[in-house]
Amino acid sequence: MIMIFLFGRYNEQGLDVLTYLGWCVWGLSVVFGFLPILILKRRGGVKKGKSYVHTEKLVDTGLYSIIRHPQYTAGILLSAALVLISQNLLVLILGALMILLLYIDIILADRHDVEKFGEEYRDYMKRVPRTNFILGIIRVLFNKIPGGRNRRKG
């Protein structure tokens, strides 16, 4: 949104379908951005008075059974939404740069989480995609089908 207000560009190419798609992607980014706050506070073993980011327990249920990094994914989706809504070359360049930087940060976050949670996180990485929520949904649905592969034990 900031890029659109900053550069005063909105649907510059007049492709309404892309604009509507952009707003849908933006809505999805809001869900991925705010839902983890509730989930991690409730299930992450966060000590009273601490921020939701200070988890002491690996959360791999709910949204975290679909993707490992929903808030980073929200940032990626928001960047893509701004590009679709604005349809402006400068916003496209800035959005692509932002997506690249967020993805690099995701890789660093995975390294940190391996150090923090060890083998449990390595197993989680094998089961749950980094940011590909469509693949994550398919895996979750497939694992609920009797006889589905990669069913989680226990």
In angstroms, the CA 19 to CA 150 distance is: 38
Dihedral angle computed from the Cα positions of residues 121, 135, 76 and 82, in that order, rounded to the nearest 10 degrees? -160
Residue 109 above 50 pLDDT?
yes
The residue-averaged pLDDT of 73-85 equals 95
Which H helix or E strand runs over 139? helix 133-144
pTM of the model: 0.81
How far apart are alpha carbons 23 and 128 in whole angstroms?
27
**What per-residue confidence (pLDDT) applies to 46?**
86
Q: Which DSSP state fits 65?
A: G
Q: Rounded mean pLDDT of 38-63? A: 90
Dmax over CA atoms of the chain, in Å, equals 53
In the prediction, which pLDDT does 40 show? 92
